[in-house]
Amino acid sequence: MLAAPSIIADARTMPAVGQPAPEFELTLMNGSKVSLAELKGQVVVLNFWATWCVPCRAELPTLDKYYALQRKNGLRVFAITTEGSLPAYRLKNLFNTMTIPAAKHIKGPYGPLTGVPTNFIIDRAGKVRYAKAGAFDLDDLNALLVPLLNEPAPN
């Protein structure tokens, strides 16, 4: 059974590639909040994952290392835990060792998901450039993100 992310707002439509990304607000594990508007001018990856998902567990360390190397170039990655995963307090140790901010909730139209992991990539101008279920490997990350990171930020 596929677990859905903890989506607070009405989620009738998924973000579409080539369209402006719908506004969202993430509630991070530490309780702070981050919105799409605050991330303008950066390349954003929203990674929906689950603890029971084997491809997710393989993808997360790769994403974490990639983020650690590329955040100085304007990359932001958020790992959004889906329902059916371990409770937040049990995930604390995992995310204490990682660079990627972990989110426990997303408010916005980013569901229902068709599988996990699911990734959304939003470019510096706020347009959805990628929206698919399936795990990234290093080659995928380079092919998808390097061109976007090389684009200038909008004025």
Q: Tens digit of pLDDT for each residue in 45-58? A: 999 999 889 999 89
Helix-strand-coil percent breakdown of the chain, rounded to 5?
Answer: 30, 30, 45
Spatial separation of the C-alpha atoms in residues 104 and 84, rounded to whole Å: 12
The predicted-structure confidence for 97-136, as pLDDT tens digits, reads as follows 889 999 988 999 998 888 999 999 999 999 999 999 999 9
Which one-letter amino acid corresponds to residue 36? L
Q: For the segment 5-20, what is each residue's pLDDT rounded down to a tens digit?
A: 444 334 456 899 999 9
Q: Quick one: how far is CA 16 from the chain centroid?
A: 15
Confidence (pTM): 0.89
